[in-house]
């Protein structure tokens, strides 16, 4: 049996009904950095980051009591914890087995960090996220603005040039023409502003396909995407997710775009930090909303930048276009929530946003 387990290319871990590790394949040894002798009889939660590490035994008891599978036979993308403390994205599948000692479980674990299978596992999700980003930013913004603003801006330039030429002969008749040209110039400028406002309102009111989904799962999958390609190496990543606030009424692709953007921004902000700590927390807020906080231990934000951080084309990155946080702002607002930034308890920056809970959400909004 063990010889067969060791031929499995991915990690394979067998546990008993109490969560204790009974078998640990060669693939698991390479993936997690433990030898089988190191983990034999240990609780499998040592392979998990918080909060799964603290809650795993409760998950098993709930399944054994209710026989309702939340992950068994389903599989999901989540995160795991290496012996050195680093977290990394995985595809986890769990099956149930009967042994001479009683009921047990077998977990098949695929490391998505540098695997070619990553593109196949997450291709659809990444394509949807990229599509949301393109439509929300460059598609609507550049094309619509370039087309609709061309006429009023051309008119402004023409009227201004005409007024300048008339000033060469500032007679009474020409002064009347100059005044008329400037009035037309102001009117065309106002028209350009109305076009921008109309486009902004259109984007903000864009329809969303809301569903009742698990906030925990959205955060876990976004974390797996953010930690791909070794971006989470050396990062102390932790989630504190309130189980009573799990069901939300949102467009899952758009919400995942928000979480993913905030996580990637936090990872980039901490590149030069000696201690890299990243935390995601969910807490209750008023009016049946849940508040999500993404906090890091980076250098923090200048207060002057923070005031304009969610405006388009305002970026803290030298090569950034400043659209990522603007998109997050639009998505959160379209769900009736709000987004803001504060100093983090970890020493860096904390982004907060709210989305509606499913229990009292209105699907017609």
Q: Which two tokens stand for residue 167?
A: 């000033």
Q: Choose the final residue of a domain: 157, 173, 204.
A: 204
Q: Which domain does 291 fall in, by range?
A: 211-356
The verdict on 103 and 169 lying in the same domain is no
Q: How confident is the model over 329-338, as pLDDT tens digits?
A: 888 988 889 9
Neighbour tally for 351: CB within 10 Å: 25
Q: Which two tokens stand for residue 286?
A: 């008023």
Instruction: For residue 364, tell me if it sits in a domain.
Output: no
Q: Return the pLDDT at 363.
A: 41
Q: How confident is the model over 202-241, as pLDDT tens digits?
A: 555 555 578 899 999 999 888 877 776 556 678 888 899 9
Phi and psi, residue 298, nearest 5°: -75, -165
Instruction: For residue 365, tell me if it sits in a domain.
Output: no
- CA gap 113, 130 in Å, rounded: 20
Residue 84 has pLDDT above 60, yes or no: yes
- Report in angstroms the alpha-carbon separations of 353 from 89, 229, 337: 24, 27, 7
Token pair 């486009």: residue: 199
Instruction: For residue 170, tell me if it sits in a domain.
Output: yes
- Contact assessment for residue 347 and residue 236, using Cβ atoms and an 8 Å cutoff: no
- Report the pLDDT averaged over residues 121-138: 58
Q: Which two tokens stand for residue 37?
A: 């002798």
- CA gap 255, 264 in Å, rounded: 14
Instruction: For residue 361, tell me if it sits in a domain.
Output: no
Is the bond preceding residue 51 a cis peptide, omega within 30 degrees?
A: yes
The verdict on 57 and 146 lying in the same domain is no
Q: How confident is the model over 132-158, as pLDDT tens digits?
A: 655 555 554 565 566 567 767 888 888
Total structural domains within the chain: 3
Q: Choose the final residue of a domain: 111, 134, 160.
A: 111
Higher-confidence position of 42 and 76:
42
pTM beyond cutoff 0.75:
no
Instruction: For residue 251, tell me if it sits in a domain.
Output: yes
Q: Which two tokens stand for residue 28?
A: 């698991």
The verdict on 217 and 276 lying in the same domain is yes
Residue 317 has pLDDT above 60, yes or no: no
Q: How many CA atoms lie within 13 A of 132 on its CB side?
A: 25
Q: Choose the final residue of a domain: 167, 184, 204.
A: 204
DSSP one-letter code for 311: S
- Contact assessment for residue 166 and residue 178, using Cβ atoms and an 8 Å cutoff: yes
Residue 321 has pLDDT above 80, yes or no: no
Instruction: For residue 362, tell me if it sits in a domain.
Output: no
The verdict on 242 and 344 lying in the same domain is yes
């Amino acid at each position: 049996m063990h010889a067969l387990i060791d031929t499995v290319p991915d990690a394979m871990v067998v546990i008993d009904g109490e969560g204790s590790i009974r078998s640990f394949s060669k693939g698991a040894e390479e993936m997690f950095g433990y030898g089988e002798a190191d983990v034999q009889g240990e609780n499998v939660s040592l392979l998990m980051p918080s909060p799964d590490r603290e809650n795993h035994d409760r998950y098993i008891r709930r399944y054994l009591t209710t026989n309702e599978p939340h992950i068994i036979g389903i599989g999901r993308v989540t995160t795991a914890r290496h012996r050195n403390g680093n977290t990394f994205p995985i595809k986890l599948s769990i099956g149930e087995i009967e042994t001479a000692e009683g009921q047990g479980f077998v977990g098949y674990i695929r490391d998505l960090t540098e695997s070619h299978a990553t593109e196949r596992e997450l291709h659809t999700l990444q394509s949807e996220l990229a599509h949301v980003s393109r439509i929300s930013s460059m598609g609507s913004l550049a094309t619509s603005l370039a087309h609709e603003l061309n006429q009023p801006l051309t008119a402004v330039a023409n009227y201004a040039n005409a007024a300048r030429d008339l000033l060469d002969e500032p007679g009474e008749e020409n002064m009347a023409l100059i005044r008329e040209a400037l009035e037309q110039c102001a009117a065309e400028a106002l028209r350009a502003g109305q076009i921008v406002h109309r486009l902004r309102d259109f984007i903000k009111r864009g329809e969303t396909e809301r569903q009742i989904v698990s906030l925990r799962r959205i955060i876990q999958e976004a974390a797996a995407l953010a930690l791909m390609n070794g971006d989470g190496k050396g990062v102390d990543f932790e989630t504190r997710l309130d189980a009573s606030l799990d069901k939300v009424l949102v467009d899952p692709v758009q919400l995942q775009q928000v979480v993913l953007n905030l996580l990637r921004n936090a990872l980039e902000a901490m590149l030069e930090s000696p201690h890299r700590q990243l935390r995601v927390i969910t807490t209750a807020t008023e009016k049946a909303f849940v508040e999500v906080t993404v906090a890091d231990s980076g250098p923090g934000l200048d207060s002057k930048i923070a005031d304009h951080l969610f405006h388009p084309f305002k970026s803290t990155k030298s090569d950034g276009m400043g659209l990522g946080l603007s998109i997050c702002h639009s998505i959160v607002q379209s769900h009736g929530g709000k987004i803001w930034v504060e100093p983090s308890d970890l020493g860096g920056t904390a982004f907060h946003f709210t989305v509606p809970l499913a229990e009292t959400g209105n699907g017609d909004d």
